[in-house]
């Protein structure tokens, strides 16, 4: 019916993220807007936010409406294009319009802009907002046409001022039945009203969708406008409204514009500048670099850029560069010796992307572990201007995005932040801040120079500067948790003055610690179809840690170097006396006691419970945790003894036959020895009564073992 009689207009000169969102919402509700000014340069004055201008929009519409100026039944709906979403179909909008008895209806807002002096001329209203906003309006064609022509307007004049003066002209107001939608029956301008709106899921015949409601006026606005300072609020609402995300279908807007690269020939794939940044000492960088290398994207389509600002990481980066840099399309490295600060380096990486005429710019900071090798490909396929893979510190709510901003531009929690971070809600989220890892479409980069788009901005750190620029340019930043992409490393407690500092990360980066240091066959210890090895009666033998663990532990001890004298007097012990002394270093001497205790609890205790059924002691206690060194010319063996433990664990830290000869543990009661010990495997045996034992003589080289007397 009337649908054919309504003309919908907007002004947009080019495709932007906001315009895509507008178009999508229009399509969702079957609306076909006429776009004015497309492909032209903006003529509406300085195109700077919060500055007057936009008269051009009036002149464009004037021309477009010329043919309809006498068409009495024709309704015209005008909306801005970059910061507007339709929330309903045209029938509903027309019905609501007719109820107002207006012939011209404008949206209202709480600020009298651009001329606050005009406030006193405005009629007083009982409820709702008093002041005209020109981003959303509608009316009958002849009346709108008359309003547009009530006085001449220059392209660079302010459109809102023009309409405001029209509205404040009482004659014109009365003649045109010119009204404001005070209560947002149709038009919701968000500026100054963000706390007055809420989303709620509404179920109709077909499905559930999120709708907007004004909780002050109890209306359900049909078109929403993120005017003034409310852009990020509209961005947040836009993640759900207009069926972007529905409870049943979840992320519907994720599929918009998505592309598929699977059939693209390598030579036709987009080229990517992959920019790696080492700005702080970071645990587990070797693994990080392997994940970079494992990305499923042809290296011949990737330009590699590395900024390393951390001396400690030089060997890690160098070994990666030596092995792999040649496979990339090009390679550039900035080392700590270049002493280039972070923001400059990041700007240089943008320049590198320009020089190489890249299609995409992909940042991966050293704390970003891309466990999913398809990350880069999936992000390109998502086809957004800026998109980040969601990365979270395991078990924490710390991620690489912010859901909302405070007024000063700092972190604020959004209503859905935790649902997103915990993957209870999956999708593609328009957010005001991302960092650490993201993909940028270089078409956008090419539009702006370093004065507009840079990591360098006074009083901002590099990430904040970049995001703040993107926000100002109305470029959307999306973060995706559609699939798992990876996780974040926590670098806070990383102390590179220690030897093997990653060994100390069992608390802050447990997942990565386990991955590097727990024996890959550890789960086999609990395989019901397998019997735990038992080389001597009640002496069990189980894989527990990796070679890397063993090597790192030996390095820690040798770097510390203060091996005990092997004497009976030992001031490290409470009694000050050891009947059967070894040459050893205790864990607490290298600050690794708490780490060892948690290791015992998480990894050793389950094996103990599995092999010695019925004994539970959680957490395990242990006062004696140490690494023993046997050497022919130092202390080559240990005489028979009992341990003061309920059970003892004895981990072989190096390799018999290669690192040393001889050695092993002999259990006298059973006349049974374990001499072919395996690096990273532990012996676990009772400490007293039955398991009288001795350390066999090392005849050559050095033997290292890790001993713990559990539950003394």
In the complex, the smallest distance separating the C-beta of residue 283 from ligand AKG, rounded to whole angstroms, is 31
Secondary structure string (H, E, C) spanning 356-383: CCCCEEEEEECCEECCCCCHHHHHHHHC
Using the minimum distance from each CB to ligand AKG, give the nearer residue, 55 or 663. 663
Residue 695 engages ligand AKG in binding (rule: CB under 6 A): yes
Interface with ligand AKG (CB under 6 A), residue from 26, 292, 693, 706: 693
Kindly determine how many residues on this chain lie close enough to bind ligand AKG according to the rule CB under 6 A: 10
Q: Tokens in use for 498? A: 């220690």
Binding partner at 665 among ligand AKG, Fe ion, none, C-beta below 5 to 8 Å by kind: ligand AKG
Q: Tokens in use for 429? A: 């989220």
Q: Tokens in use for 165? A: 């003066």
Residue 131 host element (H or E): strand 131-140
Residue with nearest beta carbon to ligand AKG = 695
- Residue 678, φ and ψ in degrees, nearest 5: -115, 130
Torsion sign (Cα): 580, 585, 586, 587: negative
Binding partner at 479 among Fe ion, ligand AKG, none, C-beta below 5 to 8 Å by kind: none
In the complex, the smallest distance separating the C-beta of residue 661 from Fe ion, rounded to whole angstroms, is 21
Q: What angle do CA 89, 479, 22 make, to 5 degrees?
A: 25
Binding partner at 653 among ligand AKG, Fe ion, none, C-beta below 5 to 8 Å by kind: none
Using the minimum distance from each CB to Fe ion, give the nearer residue, 58 or 649. 649
Binding-site string for ligand AKG from residue 582 to residue 621, where x marks contact by CB under 6 A and - marks none? x---------------------------------------
Return the closest-CA partner of residue 683 out of 659, 707, 700.
707
| CA–CA separation, 525 and 532 (whole Å) | 6
| CA–CA separation, 650 and 706 (whole Å) | 6
In the complex, the smallest distance separating the C-beta of residue 628 from ligand AKG, rounded to whole angstroms, is 5
In the complex, the smallest distance separating the C-beta of residue 391 from ligand AKG, rounded to whole angstroms, is 43
What number of other Cβ atoms are within 10 A of residue 421's Cβ? 19
Residue 545 engages ligand AKG in binding (rule: CB under 6 A): no
Binding partner at 705 among Fe ion, ligand AKG, none, C-beta below 5 to 8 Å by kind: ligand AKG
Q: According to CB under 5 A, which residues from 632 to 661 bind Fe ion?
A: 643
Binding partner at 434 among ligand AKG, Fe ion, none, C-beta below 5 to 8 Å by kind: none
Residue 552 engages ligand AKG in binding (rule: CB under 6 A): no
Residue 650 engages ligand AKG in binding (rule: CB under 6 A): yes
| CA–CA separation, 138 and 76 (whole Å) | 5
Using the minimum distance from each CB to ligand AKG, give the nearer residue, 665 or 710. 665
Residue 684 engages ligand AKG in binding (rule: CB under 6 A): no
Kindly determine how many residues on this chain lie close enough to bind Fe ion according to the rule CB under 5 A: 1
Using the minimum distance from each CB to ligand AKG, give the nearer residue, 180 or 665. 665
Torsion sign (Cα): 480, 485, 490, 491: negative
Binding partner at 650 among Fe ion, ligand AKG, none, C-beta below 5 to 8 Å by kind: ligand AKG
Using the minimum distance from each CB to ligand AKG, give the nearer residue, 187 or 681. 681
Q: Is the peptide bond before 226 cis (omega within 30 degrees of 0)?
A: no
Residue with nearest beta carbon to Fe ion = 643
In the complex, the smallest distance separating the C-beta of residue 665 from ligand AKG, rounded to whole angstroms, is 4
Using the minimum distance from each CB to ligand AKG, give the nearer residue, 199 or 533. 533
What number of other Cβ atoms are within 10 A of residue 561's Cβ? 7
Q: Kindly calculate the radius of gyration of the chain based on its CA atoms and give it in whole angstroms.
A: 35
Q: Contact 95/39 with Cβ under 8 angstroms?
A: no
Using the minimum distance from each CB to Fe ion, give the nearer residue, 292 or 539. 539
Residue 665 engages ligand AKG in binding (rule: CB under 6 A): yes
Q: Contact 653/554 with Cβ under 8 angstroms?
A: yes
Cα–chain-centroid distance for residue 308? 22
In the complex, the smallest distance separating the C-beta of residue 637 from ligand AKG, rounded to whole angstroms, is 8
Using the minimum distance from each CB to ligand AKG, give the nearer residue, 512 or 643. 643
Using the minimum distance from each CB to ligand AKG, give the nearer residue, 112 or 652. 652
Residue entry with tokens 């499905």: 207
Q: What is the DSSP letter of 604?
A: I
In the complex, the smallest distance separating the C-beta of residue 708 from ligand AKG, rounded to whole angstroms, is 10
Q: Which residues contact 1 (CB under 8 A, 6 or more apart)?
A: 91
In the complex, the smallest distance separating the C-beta of residue 703 from Fe ion, rounded to whole angstroms, is 14
Using the minimum distance from each CB to ligand AKG, give the nearer residue, 620 or 695. 695
Residue 643 engages ligand AKG in binding (rule: CB under 6 A): yes
In the complex, the smallest distance separating the C-beta of residue 632 from Fe ion, rounded to whole angstroms, is 20
What number of other Cβ atoms are within 10 A of residue 266's Cβ? 9
- Residue 304, φ and ψ in degrees, nearest 5: -100, 130
Interface with ligand AKG (CB under 6 A), residue from 26, 144, 148, 638: 638
Q: What angle do CA 691, 696, 700 make, to 5 degrees?
A: 160
Residue 539 engages ligand AKG in binding (rule: CB under 6 A): no
Residue 334 host element (H or E): strand 330-334
The string of DSSP codes covering 636-685 is --EEEE--SSSEEEEEE-S-BTTTEEE--EEEGGGTEEE-S--TTEEEEE
Secondary structure string (H, E, C) spanning 83-101: CEEECCCHHHHHHHHHHCC
In the complex, the smallest distance separating the C-beta of residue 672 from ligand AKG, rounded to whole angstroms, is 13
Interface with ligand AKG (CB under 6 A), residue from 105, 628, 651, 706: 628
The string of DSSP codes covering 377-418 is HHHHHH--SEEEE--B-TTSS-BSEESEE-TTS-EE--TTHH
In the complex, the smallest distance separating the C-beta of residue 550 from Fe ion, rounded to whole angstroms, is 19
Using the minimum distance from each CB to Fe ion, give the nearer residue, 87 or 682. 682
Cα–chain-centroid distance for residue 329? 27
In the complex, the smallest distance separating the C-beta of residue 582 from Fe ion, rounded to whole angstroms, is 9
Residue 584 engages Fe ion in binding (rule: CB under 5 A): no
Using the minimum distance from each CB to ligand AKG, give the nearer residue, 369 or 693. 693
* Binding footprint of ligand AKG on the chain (CB under 6 A): 582, 628, 638, 643, 650, 665, 693, 695, 705, 707
Binding site for Fe ion (CB under 5 A): 643
């Amino acid at each position: 019916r009337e649908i054919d009689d309504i003309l919908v207009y907007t002004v947009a000169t080019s495709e932007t993220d906001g315009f895509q969102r507008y178009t999508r919402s229009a399509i969702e509700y079957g609306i076909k807007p006429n776009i004015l000014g497309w492909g032209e340069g903006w003529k509406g004055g300085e195109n700077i936010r919060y500055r007057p201008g936009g008269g051009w929009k009036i002149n464009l519409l004037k021309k477009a409406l010329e043919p309809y100026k006498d068409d009495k039944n024709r309704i015209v709906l005008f909306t801005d294009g970059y910061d507007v979403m339709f929330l309903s179909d045209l029938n509903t909008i027309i019905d609501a319009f007719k109820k107002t008895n207006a012939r011209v209806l404008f949206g209202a807002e709480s600020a009298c802009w651009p001329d606050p002096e005009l406030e006193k001329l405005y009629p007083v209203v009982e409820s709702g907002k008093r002041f005209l906003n020109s981003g959303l309006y509608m009316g009958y064609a002849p009346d709108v046409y008359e309003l547009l022509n009530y006085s001449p307007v220059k392209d660079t004049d302010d459109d809102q001022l023009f309409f405001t003066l029209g509205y404040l002209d009482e004659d014109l107001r009365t003649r045109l039945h010119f009204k404001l939608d005070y209560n947002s029956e149709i038009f919701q301008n968000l500026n100054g009203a963000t706390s007055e709106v809420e989303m709620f899921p509404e179920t109709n015949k077909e499905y559930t969708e999120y709708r907007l409601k004004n909780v002050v006026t109890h209306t359900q606005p049909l078109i929403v406008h993120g005017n003034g300072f409310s852009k990020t609020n509209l961005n947040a609402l836009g993640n759900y409204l207009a069926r972007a995300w529905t409870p049943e279908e979840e992320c519907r807007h994720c599929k918009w514009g998505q592309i598929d690269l699977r059939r693209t020939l390598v030579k036709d794939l987009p080229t990517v500048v992959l920019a790696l940044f080492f700005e702080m000492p970071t645990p587990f960088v070797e693994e990080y670099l392997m994940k970079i290398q494992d990305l499923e994207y042809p290296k011949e389509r990737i330009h590699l850029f590395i900024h390393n600002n951390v001396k400690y990481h030089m060997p890690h980066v160098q070994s990666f560069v030596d092995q792999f840099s040649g496979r990339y399309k090009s390679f550039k490295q900035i080392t700590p010796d270049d002493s280039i600060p972070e923001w400059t380096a990041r700007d240089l990486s943008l320049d590198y992307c320009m020089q190489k005429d890249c299609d995409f710019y992909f940042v991966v900071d050293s704390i970003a572990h891309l466990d999913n090798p398809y990350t880069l490909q999936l992000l390109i396929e998502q086809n957004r201007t800026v998109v980040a893979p969601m990365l979270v510190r395991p078990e924490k709510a710390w991620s690489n995005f912010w859901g909302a901003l405070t007024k000063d531009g700092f972190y604020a929690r959004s209503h859905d932040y935790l649902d997103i971070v915990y993957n209870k809600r999956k999708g593609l989220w328009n957010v005001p801040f991302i960092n650490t890892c993201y993909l940028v479409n270089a078409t956008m980069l090419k539009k702006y120079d370093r004065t507009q788009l840079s990591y360098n901005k006074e009083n901002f750190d590099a990430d904040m500067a970049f995001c703040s620029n993107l926000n100002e340019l109305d470029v959307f930043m999306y973060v995706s948790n559609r699939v798992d992409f990876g996780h974040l490393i926590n670098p806070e407690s990383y102390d590179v003055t220690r030897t093997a500092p990653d060994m100390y990360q069992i608390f802050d980066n447990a997942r990565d610690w386990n991955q590097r240091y727990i024996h890959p066959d550890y789960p086999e210890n609990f395989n019901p179809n397998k019997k735990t090895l038992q080389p001597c009666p009640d002496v069990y033998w189980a894989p527990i840690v990796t070679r890397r663990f063993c090597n790192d532990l030996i390095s820690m001890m040798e770097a510390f170097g203060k091996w005990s004298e092997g004497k009976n007097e030992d001031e490290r012990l409470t009694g000050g006396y050891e009947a059967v002394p070894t040459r050893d270093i205790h864990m607490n001497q290298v600050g690794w006691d708490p780490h060892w205790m948690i290791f015992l609890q998480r990894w050793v205790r389950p094996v103990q419970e599995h092999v010695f059924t019925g004994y539970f002691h959680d957490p395990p206690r242990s006062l004696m945790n140490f690494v023993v060194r046997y050497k022919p010319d130092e202390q080559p063996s240990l005489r028979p003894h009992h341990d003061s433990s309920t059970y003892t664990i004895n981990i072989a830290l190096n390799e018999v036959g290669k690192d040393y000869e001889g050695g092993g543990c002999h259990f006298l009661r059973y006349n049974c020895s374990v001499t072919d010990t395996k690096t990273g495997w532990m012996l676990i045996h009772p400490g007293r009564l039955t398991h009288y034992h001795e350390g066999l003589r090392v005849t050559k080289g050095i033997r290292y073992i890790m001993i713990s007397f559990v539950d003394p």
